Amino acid sequence: MKPCEHEAAHHLAAQLAAENMPGEEEIARVSAVFKSISEPSRLKILFALRQGEMCVYHIVEAVGGTQSGVSHQLRILRDNRVIKARRDGQNVVYSLADEHVLAVLELACSHLNCKI
Amino acid sequence: MKPCEHEAAHHLAAQLAAENMPGEEEIARVSAVFKSISEPSRLKILFALRQGEMCVYHIVEAVGGTQSGVSHQLRILRDNRVIKARRDGQNVVYSLADEHVLAVLELACSHLNCKI
DNA sequence: TCAATATATGAATAACTGTTCATATATTAG
DNA sequence: CTAATATATGAACAGTTATTCATATATTGA
């Protein structure tokens, strides 16, 4: 493969892109966050938590599936700081970690013209 | 499993969440978009295209890897309307599809305190 | 039309990941 | 302490997916 005809026009962009490319670690972290919110079962949890904080029992009630499955998914979301947890007696209460999460969900929906 | 002690407080949220839960189709579409931007190789392409439109040759130059691999990844991003393409002679020139994409990337970075 | 360049794609394999099942930990009531 | 409730987790299997290789399509110039 040889340079395309836009050598002059595009090469600068390519060079800048290579220079400003985030390191492997940063790419991996961003990747992990997006992966964590890209699975249908986990997306449902996030949409559910838009209504407010909930304990695991009620999350299962809202999104369906098994307690074990939901718990595994909560772990992944929590590891990526997409949701946060606090213990309250026998229960663990989950909620969205910050405004960014809500904002990203809404951006995705507007990108898709969702009516959510 | 039985209702937790926050029955009164959380049950309403769970009920609202179940009622307002997007349908399987919509969840699947949002899922597909996030999946498409969650792979390191594809994230690199998106970060590269922040510098402006580029043809495949220069994308390969910016992100590394093989022409075939990059082309496969471009296809997935394009199918999810995360990037758009236009042909220009022998070349196909790619660019970010809309402001949403840039906004999501920046939100993810600020979520992670990236310096990008 | 032919050769060269640029990009795309089908198939196959290897790596990854979600779900399930069984079980473990933690908290509270008695 | 014991039983019951609530949540978490390790292992294994099944389904998904990225990458590679070979090849196909598209465009341009001669």
Q: pLDDT in tens for each of the 116 residues of chain B?
A: 445 555 556 788 899 999 999 999 999 999 999 999 999 999 999 999 999 999 999 999 999 999 999 999 999 999 999 999 999 999 999 999 999 999 999 999 988 888 77
CB of A59 within 7 Å of some strand C atom: no
- Chain B residue with minimal CA distance to A28? B40
CB contact under 8 A, B31 and A53: no
For residue B72, what pLDDT is reported? 98
Band (A2; pLDDT cuts 50, 70, 90): very low
Between CA A92 and CA A85 the distance in angstroms is 6
CB contact under 8 A, A26 and B88: no
Sheet holding A83-88, edge to edge: A54-55, A91-96, A83-88
Band (A116; pLDDT cuts 50, 70, 90): confident
Q: What percent of chain A has pLDDT over 70?
A: 91
Residues of chain B contacting residue A54, judged by C-beta atoms under 8 Å apart = 10, 13-14, 17
Please tell me which residue, A103 or B7, carries the higher pLDDT value: A103
For residue B12, what pLDDT is reported? 85
Class of domain B26-111: mainly alpha
pTM as predicted: 0.92
Structure-block tokens of residue A53: 């904080």
CB contact under 8 A, A27 and B44: yes
Between CA B26 and CA A72 the distance in angstroms is 23
Reduced to 3 states (helix: H, G, I; strand: E, B; else coil), residue A96 is strand
Give the nearest nucleotide to B85, CA to C1': C7
Q: A18-62, pLDDT tens digit by residue?
A: 999 999 999 999 999 999 999 999 999 999 999 999 999 999 999
Between CA A10 and CA B50 the distance in angstroms is 13
Best probe of the A interface among B30, B44, B67, B110, by most A CBs < 10 A, is: B30
Of B54, B103, B109, the CB nearest to A14: B54
Backbone angles phi, psi at A48, to 5 degrees: -65, -45
Give the nearest nucleotide to A93, CA to C1': D7
Between CA A79 and CA A97 the distance in angstroms is 11
Between CA A44 and CA B67 the distance in angstroms is 36
B57 CA, C3 C1': Å apart: 21
Domain A25-111 is found in CATH 3.60.10.10: no
Of B31, B61, B114, the CB nearest to A14: B61
For residue A12, what pLDDT is reported? 85
Listed by start position, the domains of chain A span: 25-111
Mean pLDDT of all residues in A86-115: 94
For residue B92, what pLDDT is reported? 97
For residue A1, what pLDDT is reported? 42
Mean pLDDT of all residues in A94-102: 96
Tell me the nearest-neighbour CA distance from A71 into chain B, angstroms.
Answer: 13
Band (A9; pLDDT cuts 50, 70, 90): low
